[in-house]
Amino acid sequence: MIGSGSFKIQTMSKAGNRAAILECISTAEEIARVDIAQATGINAATVTALTSELLDEGIVEALMDEEKQNTKRGRPRVKLCLNPKAFNLAGAKISEDAITVAIIDFAGTLLSEHMQKGNSFAIPKHKLAANLKKAISVAVDKAGLHIDDITALGVGIPGYVDIASECVHWSPALSDTPTNFVETLRATFDFPVMLDNDVNLAALAEQRFGLGKGISDFLVVTIEHGVGMGIVLNNNLFRGTRGLGGEFGHTKVQLNGALCRCGQRGCLEAYVADYALLREADTAIKLQSANNLPTAQRLEALYLEAKSGNQAALSIFERAGKIFGMGLANLVNIFDPSLIIFAGERMQFDFLYEEDVLEELRRNTLQIDRAPPKVQVHKWGDLLWAKGAAAWATEYVIHQAAAKNNES
């Protein structure tokens, strides 16, 4: 089933119609003209005219529908897809210790990936842009392309990013915030660059390549150093007015509670994120042997303590799990999504005793005689985030391509 709904438009400019058609083809991957008309609400004659243009421009390709071709009745039905060779897009995810780059074609197929280790957090924007440039040129090489073959770049960065004003208000990756990091990136690359909060791009990745495919309303919750959320409503990413929507980690769960990285008190993240669990552990139990280890290994040591029956360690996870479940229940009561995806690479979901979290979620959610939202865990690494960033660059290119032939 096509992700319908969001493309239905009453009257629209030619560029708007072209964009809606391209988005519809992109979402469906392969679709017949008649189904485009149905999904977008654009009349069949207009769909035929505009798709002919897009075919002539090499943006869209025609495929024979083999099923129909094999039947004796009627002409074979032609399906349309994006021409993979029309554009190449790059996406990058900036994380704690690495930059991960994905190069995809216009149809979303991965052409190459590259992870550049050794990125250190909280560095000046010029240095981060230079690191990014190095990582992208390696990925472009691996894809057998030249840097000039890239049409656009999407970048996901942790922190507070207002894409309208282009301001990164705060990011653990940058030492000189608030700042316009997009401007620096534009000066670094010869193609358009888009920057967004990394979790928003994770939601785009789930929508385009992952568990959110074809689902109109879903939430993506990530637990890494912080707790993030991407919101997809009616097939569109919801960012909020100031780009600060979906800051699930900073919803308040305790009056005058634990101190959060944001400077406020009682945030969910201050109980659930890795630094919060380790901070608790530092005061409740002594994990001397683990003190010099990296965060992930210290967390694992704490988890093993809990598993082996250390009551203090166990209660840290139990409390975090309960608070996390309660926070999730609040999300369900507000958004009533059909799906919540726990996404990310790291093992915090296991640490948080998944069943306890889900029980707390059920207990605090309004119940009716219809199934509650599905909860799915999707463990993946930085590559999918990078693909999400590239998917965002694809959206940009779709709108540029749609506007290109806008005279009539």
Give the interface with Zn ion as residue ranges (CB under 5 A): 250, 260, 262, 264, 267
- Please state the closest distance from residue 250 (CB atom) to Zn ion, in A: 4
- Please state the closest distance from residue 161 (CB atom) to Zn ion, in A: 16
88-94: strand order across its sheet: 110-117, 98-105, 88-94, 150-157, 193-197
In angstroms, what CA-CA distances link 294 with 230, 301, 303, 344, 348? Answer: 27, 11, 14, 18, 15
Distance in angstroms (rounded) separating the CA atoms of residues 10 and 5 = 12
Distance in angstroms (rounded) separating the CA atoms of residues 142 and 148 = 14
Distance in angstroms (rounded) separating the CA atoms of residues 71 and 407 = 41
Between strands 374-379 and 218-223, the pairing is unpaired
The residue (of 28 and 268) whose beta carbon lies closer to Zn ion is: 268
The residue (of 247 and 360) whose beta carbon lies closer to Zn ion is: 247
Write the DSSP string, 121-188. Answer: SSB-HHHHHHHHHHHHHHHHHHTT--GGGEEEEEEEESSEEETTTTEEEE-TTBSS-SB-HHHHHHHH
Beta bridge partners of 152: 89
Determine the distance from the C-alpha atom of residue 313 to the mean position of all C-alpha atoms in its chain, rounded to a whole number.
32
Distance in angstroms (rounded) separating the CA atoms of residues 403 and 187 = 24
Distance in angstroms (rounded) separating the CA atoms of residues 88 and 85 = 7
- Please state the closest distance from residue 64 (CB atom) to Zn ion, in A: 54
Distance in angstroms (rounded) separating the CA atoms of residues 253 and 215 = 29
The residue (of 125 and 250) whose beta carbon lies closer to Zn ion is: 250
The residue (of 35 and 247) whose beta carbon lies closer to Zn ion is: 247
- Please state the closest distance from residue 263 (CB atom) to Zn ion, in A: 7
- Please state the closest distance from residue 226 (CB atom) to Zn ion, in A: 8
Backbone angles phi, psi at 278, to 5 degrees: -70, -35
The residue (of 160 and 209) whose beta carbon lies closer to Zn ion is: 160
CB atoms within 10 A of CB 15: 16
- Please state the closest distance from residue 252 (CB atom) to Zn ion, in A: 8
The residue (of 173 and 260) whose beta carbon lies closer to Zn ion is: 260
Q: Which of 330, 342, 103 is nearest to 199 (CA)?
A: 342
The residue (of 69 and 264) whose beta carbon lies closer to Zn ion is: 264
- Please state the closest distance from residue 7 (CB atom) to Zn ion, in A: 37
Report yes or no: 136 and 142 within 8 Å, Cβ to Cβ: no
- Please state the closest distance from residue 251 (CB atom) to Zn ion, in A: 9
- Please state the closest distance from residue 260 (CB atom) to Zn ion, in A: 3
The residue (of 171 and 365) whose beta carbon lies closer to Zn ion is: 171
The residue (of 31 and 270) whose beta carbon lies closer to Zn ion is: 270
Distance in angstroms (rounded) separating the CA atoms of residues 254 and 269 = 11
